[in-house]
Amino acid sequence: MQRALALTSVFIFLSAPAFADNDHNLTILGTYVIPSGLQIDDVEFGGISGLDYQPETGKFIAISDDRSQKAPARFYDIDINLSKDGITGINIAAMHSLENAQGQAWAEKTTDPEGIAFDHAYQSIFWSSEVGPALYKADLNGKLLQEFVLPDAYIPNSDGTRGIYNNQAFEGLTVSNDGKHIYVATENALIQDGPKASLDAVSPSRILQLDAVTGETIAEYIYETDKIPVKAVNNGWNDNGLSEIRALASGDFLVTERSYAEGIGFNIRLYRVSLKQATNIAGAKSIKGMDVQPVSKEEILTIKDGDFGFSHTDNIEAISFGPEIDGYQTLILATDNNFNIKEETQFYAFSLPIDFK
């Protein structure tokens, strides 16, 4: 259901310092901030965990990871005014409530929206939840059209020996450029595959490839996250995980990993990932004892706390390609503010060579 919007807040444009990655021609165009506390029709804006571009409309869709605690689970249509000079304005154009199988808003804590991707073939969306975990198809107003059946390996069992770790499921979601396949990626390993990332060990996340129409499992691959790169202060909270995946026309992917070290802040890494030499483990209940070649990954960007003019770097969970500008491909990164007044919804705009995809 689309809702009329009444906005109350201040948006902040920041001029980012010059940056260019000479190996990948990745250049910062600019940054933009939506401070926490923005009210849209008396609903707090925030928790942006997924972002995707609609070239047909020139708008972006963005999903909130609010577990229907502040308001019903929802996604937004967003206008990002983007030019070679960066992001000069952002408008939250519409807000849509996501519906469950009964055609109603999701009850509190019954879903945890994390990923969103535009289905160009059917003018609809795919979205993923860490509760379940689950993968859905909905129309552009949030009405549920389909729930996909997932392999048993992802579904937690009663004795805690199988399935996702709590809050470590489908952070990443994307659709292949031809629209035929959906890819979802777990933030960390499945319980039966191995441990979560630590200061001493990587974690074998899974990338699951499904038929976009039938939901049939096509393939599964192992993506090894990094170790936690920085130790927290005074043995505080430490983590690292895969937070987003975005398909390239070449068949490769962009993948974001983000870690947090209490007392130090966030560390964000963007990788180009290839499945070409990786082992297809489709149907494997566990990878323990298997000879598995993980996907290959090449780091193309690191964002540390306070880079690009921000006083601090927040929790980047969303990446999307944007429009082409002056012969370059744009790339947008956005943060989940966790509905925390000390955090922000930060947007980063980069340019890439037009043939990068």
In tens digits, the chain (357 residues) has pLDDT values of: 555 454 444 455 554 554 555 456 789 999 999 999 999 889 999 999 999 999 999 999 999 999 999 999 999 999 999 999 899 999 999 999 999 999 999 999 999 999 999 999 899 999 999 999 999 999 999 999 999 999 999 999 999 999 999 989 999 999 999 999 999 999 999 999 999 999 999 999 999 999 999 999 999 999 999 999 999 999 999 999 999 999 999 999 999 999 999 999 899 999 999 999 999 999 999 999 999 999 999 999 999 877 877 777 888 999 999 999 989 999 999 999 999 998 999 999 999 988 777
Q: How far apart are CA 94 and CA 98, in angstroms?
A: 13
Q: What's the angle, vertex CA 238, arms to CA 334 and CA 341, rounded to 5?
A: 45
- The structure tokens listed for 246 are 């975005």
The CA distances from residue 104 to 41, 101, 123, 140, 142, in Å, are 19, 7, 21, 16, 10
- At residue 51, the pLDDT reads 98
Pick the CATH number of 2-353 from 2.60.40, 2.60.120, 2.40.10, 2.115.10: 2.115.10
Query: What is residue 148's DSSP assignment?
Result: P
- At residue 93, the pLDDT reads 95
pTM: 0.93
The CA distances from residue 248 to 139, 179, 183, 252, in Å, are 24, 12, 12, 5
- At residue 175, the pLDDT reads 97
- At residue 5, the pLDDT reads 54
- At residue 142, the pLDDT reads 97
The separation between CA 4 and the C-alpha centre of its own chain, rounded to angstroms, equals 26
